[in-house]
Amino acid sequence: MKKNSLIIGVLLGLAFVSIVFGFFSPYYLTHLKFFKEFLNTGQIGDTIGGLINPFIALAGVIVTFLAFYMQVRANSIQIDQFNKTQLQQTEALKEQLFLKLVDNLNNRIVNLSLSSKDEEGVLHTYDSFHAVDWLINNLSMKMTQECVSLGRHFLAKYPELVPIHLYSRIIDLNPGVTYYSEIENPNELREAILQIENYNDRWEYIKEYVGSTDNKDAKINRVLQSIGSLLFYKTPFEERQGAYENAYQSIFDKAGSFLDSYMRNLAYILEQVALNSNNSFFTDYMKSNLSTQEFVLILYYCTSSKSTEGFRELIRRFKLLEEVQLLRGKFVDVPLLEEMTNEIDFILTRKDFRFQ
């Protein structure tokens, strides 16, 4: 702006000097001794015209250029203002689109309706957020079942990590021990398992104490569930990712169309937010419109093979799962805040996410 003002000032000054000098040029150029060649003049009109015209013409050129320059500047200002207006309109349209997308996401929950029969064959219908609660309860129950299988696996692979009181419960329950029945001390049982080096041989050995995988004994299954729960966050994720996968698949079988459309809609919203420079406003607004139950569904989706690395990165980038810690009771063994935070961080940041 200062540069433009300087240019305009200089041009106006030159034009003014040219005009003023043009009026006085006949006198100076015909009377000063320095310009002797002008002492013998022709007709006075020709002399004055011939002397003044070049300066007037120069001033005219300068003024004409100045007018052209001002017009160019005016056009540039109009273009800038037009672009600014267009940008504001585009931002307003983006905001309107975003609000409609979030509203559409909320409506998917509000309009959700699920039906299921209980063990007695009675049909129950769940609507809106009650349906989401029902899905989360199904996740919780499925993870409890998965912990039974994990408990058997952990007992065979990590017997040294299993608390001694759980070995005592196994011996006390004695679900059908045959040729290993001479072991009555929990420490002896743990040492006996540790002495077996091969995982498969350990598996066969503990079958005599906890039964086969199709065992229906509720008491021994509760012991296995306790083992699976206690060691859940103390073992490599690859060994328990299958539990997450099976849990999410169990609710996908019940509400696959809803979950698929919901997650696709959420992914599109996050992609649009990522393209906007003011994404903090959009993410804060979106998080304020999502229920804690939805955060749980999103986390379980991220643990499944149906999610993508790009989706998980967007979830991590916009810190969308911070609120999920409020529902720790819906996860295995009610994890500590630090355990839950580490679990979420691992799920969202691992690049070579392999599903087994």
Six-digit token string for 93: 């349209």
Q: Tens digit of pLDDT for each residue in 136-173?
A: 999 999 999 999 999 999 999 999 999 999 999 988 88
Count, residues in the chain: 356
Percentage of the chain beyond pLDDT 90 is 37
d(CA 167, CA 180): 14
- The alpha carbon of 96 is separated from its chain's Cα centroid by a whole number of angstroms, namely 20
* Model confidence pTM above 0.75: no
User: What is the SS3 assignment for 122?
Assistant: coil
CA-based torsion, 339, 340, 345, 346: positive or negative: positive
Residue with tokens 């004055």: 48
Within 8 A by CB and 6+ apart from 74, the residues are: none
The pLDDT value given to residue 223: 93
Report the half-sphere exposure of 318 (CA within 13 A, side-chain side).
29
Measured in degrees and rounded to the nearest 5, phi and psi for residue 198 equal -80, 135
| Band of residue 263 on the pLDDT scale cut at 50, 70, 90 | very high
The pLDDT value given to residue 8: 60
Q: Are residues 233 and 343 in contact, defined by beta-carbon separation less than 8 angstroms?
A: yes
Six-digit token string for 114: 């699920």
- The alpha carbon of 63 is separated from its chain's Cα centroid by a whole number of angstroms, namely 58
Give the mean model confidence (pLDDT) for residues 175-197. Answer: 75
